[in-house]
Structure 1
Amino acid sequence: MKVLVIGSVYPRFQEDAEVPWLRTSIAHLKKAGAEIQVLAPAYKGLKSHDIDGTHVNRFRYAFANWEILTHEEGAPSKMASKPWLQLLAIPYIINGFFQCIRICRKWHPDVIHAHWPFPHAYIALGAAKLFKIPLVLNFHGAELLLIRKKKWVKPLLKFAIGQAQAIFANSSFTAGKIKALRNVDVEWSPYGTTLETRTDEALQTRNENNASCHPERNVVESKDPVTIVPHAVNGKFKILFVGRHIERKGICYLIEAAKYLPRDKFEIRIVGVGDLTEQLKAQAAAVKEGAEIIFTGKLSPEDLANEYRTANVFTLPAIVDHKGDTEGLGVVLIEAMELGLPIVASNVGGIPDVVVDGESGILVPEKDPVALADAFKRLEVDPTLIQKLLAGARKRIDECFTWDGIIERQMEVYKRLQQ
């Protein structure tokens, strides 16, 4: 089966860290027997190329120096800071539209799978209609949030949904927004982990590592070089956040939670960078009592892996931001679970698809630093609770977030569309 995958972003070179979940999903689709090509925009004149044996068709839409609408940051954020980029939207759609037709005329795919349906549904529709190719639209949440800011997007998305033969959503939260727009069947199609290694040994060792926060268990050694490192000598319970420093991640509430955590027992480590980094550092500097807050900046893969190994809990204190944006799924939570970390996260967006409160993690209300701190305190004193949550997390991943299961469901939809 031939599948043409359309997206706004795809890795530009072998080491590129863009959309690792999409790259991984395509690898698993190929493993399942699908033949894949990708259609994505150029970046600064980038020509078509191959990644992991997959051909990536790049369409041009401006002078090379202007082709910065995608990659490295979301297009809506870029257009907000550089309004002139909005002028590129029309050539983006037109050039992508004709490139899609050219590929389909030559390659004859059996299915077109378009991610981020606004605007990629309109890049795909011409070829889908002309060559009678089934169209799958895959929503990730951001497209639907545009409706709040740009009312004219709503009828365009509603029309596009009606033209598709199948609709995928990354979370039940996203699926609900699609159904509110148009009452159609929606397939839940989340992401799996992009980690290359996961062993059940990691869960056992993480249990031991959390126990090492207590004086009687100060250092843990490992048989697994990927996921285990001796616990910090100072014995503090390490709270880890990894992600972009943007409003919807809710980092400011994590910093506020530090005030309610004893400094001799807790440490908060904030990995990543973003527009709010300096503002968050200033907020943290004003916290004179409570847990120490450490900003690591952007880390190498090796250093990031070390942060996961030495942490005791992973947190995503996400919120609904002033634009109505929030977490569509929170794939970082799945990865933290894979590495044997208990989870504390906000009960917003698609996060409850991953974290079932009291079973696979702890959910707290958004924008509630006291509730965050209380959850961390519960875990710090209760290794049995940690073990229970890790077992529940493993079960949740096995039931819902393994790539084999995700891809099997996608392939079933593809095959159904051929009948």
Structure 2
Amino acid sequence: MREISKHGHEVYILAPYTGGKTEYTLESVHVERFHYFYPKRFQNLCGRSGMVDNVKEGFLVKFQVLTFLLFNIIHSLRNLNNMDIVHVQWPIPNGLGALFLKKIYGIPYINTVHGEEVYLSKRYHALFALKWFVNNSTKTVANSSATLNSCLKNGLEKEKLNIIPFGVDINFYKPLKIPKDENMFQILAVGYLIERKGFEYLIRAVKEVLNKHKDVRLTIVGSGPLEEKLKSLITELKLENNAKIMKNVSDEELLQLYNSSDLFVLPSIVDSQGNTEGLGVVLLEAMACKLPVIGSNTGGIPDIIQHSETGLLVPEKDVSQLSEAILNLIENKDLRDKLAVNGYNQVRENFNWKEISKSYLKVYNSI
């Protein structure tokens, strides 16, 4: 939206309250955060771990799903009724206000589907609602070919669908001249500590890697429900000196970690509920910092990684092949350099927000 605003368009963002100010301007974009439950101090649905996990905390939070939908409609009708276009991120749960705006004021809307809402709609028997939001939209954008295919498999209208990937801020995520520990090969992974991120398999792969190379260290950055389980696995495999989990860090700290690492790995899987990676934005961040990457051949990750060109793809949950891929890059600096340069160039050409905003502008201008 920052890039869209640079083209002379006025951008207004309506989002749920997660703390702090309720109205402010962020890089020329006006932001309003709406309250969705009263008394306000009991609002616990949004922020923190995200709606999907927060809603598990009890009846009061589950009830806030209903009040969220109500206040989404109220604030949409009150604050967005003079817009030319409404762009919905996550049609479930955010699409209801846009649908009311279309029906009452005739304002067209488009959706961006990130992947998980398709899986959740299917799991909770709400596909009818997702179809309703998509079929009433002027256009619905998927963030990857995997998300698009998931939409098609679940009966969404093909002619309404398009692919525009998520991007990365290449002005922030970029190579820095940071000295690296030449005596230790640093592997970095970043993500929410949940099943579908597959961190268990990465930890087990590092155990195998250490049989051939002792000077390897894994850092996983993130928090989530599997934190204690993953820490227990590190202890069980006696990896305390070679693997650690860091709580969420600031963007500036993460930038430093990308640039001080030798390899980035995203070992995502299809989890026990059938959910998987929509795209894998952390891969783009790592590649923008000229870091070689390994990813699982699942979900939207193959949209980012072309095997042996911009990174390495491995089968999900395959500890042996993942460890072999890591060993290959530890032992082959030329391949590391090739993947790093190619990945860096690809992100700058195809996944930077400036170029992606042009794709969205084409959609807006076609309405």
Bin of the TM-score, shorter chain as denominator length: over 0.9
User: Could you list the per-position Cα deviations for residues 138-176 of structure 1 after superposition, in whole angstroms to 9, with x for gaps in the alignment?
Assistant: 10111101133211x111111211100011111111111
How many Å separate the matches in 1 of 2:253 and 2:14? 33
What is the CA distance between 1:257 and its match in structure 2? 0.7
For residues 371 and 291 of structure 1, the distance between their equivalents in structure 2, rounded to whole angstroms, comes to 23
Residue 191 in structure 1 maps to residue 166 in structure 2: yes
- Of 123-132 and 46-55, more deviation after overlay is shown by 46-55
User: Could you tell me how far 1:44 is from its partner in structure 2?
Assistant: 6.1
CA deviation map 1:291-325 (0-9, x unaligned): 82123333344443332222110000111111222
Contact 1:267 1:292 in 2 (8 A): yes
**Separation in structure 2 between the aligned mates of residue 85 and residue 172 of structure 1, nearest angstrom:** 33
TM-score (norm 1): 0.81
Unaligned regions of 5+ residues in structure 2, if any? none
Find the counterpart in structure 2 of residue 333 from structure 1. 283
**Which one of 355, 359, 362 corresponds to residue 305 of structure 2?**
355
- The residue aligned with 1:130 is 104
Is 1:343 matched up with 2:272?
no
Contact preservation (8 Å) 2:207, 2:237: yes
In 1: Cα distance, 2:194 partner to 2:44 partner? 20
Is structure 2 residue 146 aligned with structure 1 residue 170?
no
Q: CA deviation at 1:182?
A: 1.7
From 318, 322, 326, give the equivalent of 1:368: 318
Q: Does 1:48 align with 2:23?
A: yes
CA RMSD, Structure 1 to Structure 2 (Å): 2.1
State the percentage of identical aligned residues.
31
Match of 2:7 in 1: 32
The one of 346, 355, 358 aligned to 1:405: 355
Which amino acid in 2 is paired with 1:164?
S
8 Å contact from structure 2 (residues 116, 275) kept in 1: yes
User: Is the 8 Å Cα contact of residues 305 and 311 (structure 2) preserved in structure 1?
Assistant: yes
Q: 1:268 to 1:57 in 2, by over 3 A?
A: closer
- Equivalent position of 1:10 in the other structure: none
Q: Deviations over 1:101-123 (max 9, x none)?
A: 22233xx2110101110122211
Within the alignment, does 1:252 sit opposite 2:225 as a pair?
A: no
Alpha-carbon deviation of 1:195?
Answer: 5.1
- Distance (whole Å) between structure 2 residues aligned to residue 50 and residue 325 of structure 1: 35
Q: Is the 8 A contact 1:258 1:291 kept in 2?
A: no
388-397 or 347-356: which moved more? 388-397
Q: Distance in 1 between matches of 2:151 and 2:250?
A: 37
- 1:254 alignment partner AA: L
Structure 1 distance, partners of 2:188, 2:37, is: 41
Shift of the 58–266 alpha-carbon distance from structure 1 to 2, 3 Å rule, reads closer
Shift, 1:184, TM fit = 2.1
The whole-number CA distance in structure 2 between the counterparts of 1:331 and 1:312 is: 18
- The DSSP-based 3-state class of the residue aligned with 1:35 is coil
Match of 2:132 in 1: 159
Task: Give per-residue Cα distances to partners, 1:69-95, cap 9 Å, x unaligned.
Answer: 111222121112324312122222122
1:133 is paired with a residue whose SS is coil
Q: Quick check: 1:148 aligned with 2:128?
A: no
Q: Which amino acid aligns with 2:107?
A: I
- For structure 1, the 5+ residue unaligned runs are 1-25, 203-226
Please name the residue that 1:212 is paired with: none
Q: How many residues in Structure 1 have an aligned counterpart in Structure 2?
A: 362
> How far apart, in 1, do the equivalents of 2:321 and 2:241 lie?
15
Change (3 A) 1:291 1:316: farther
The TM-score with structure 2 as length reference comes to 0.92
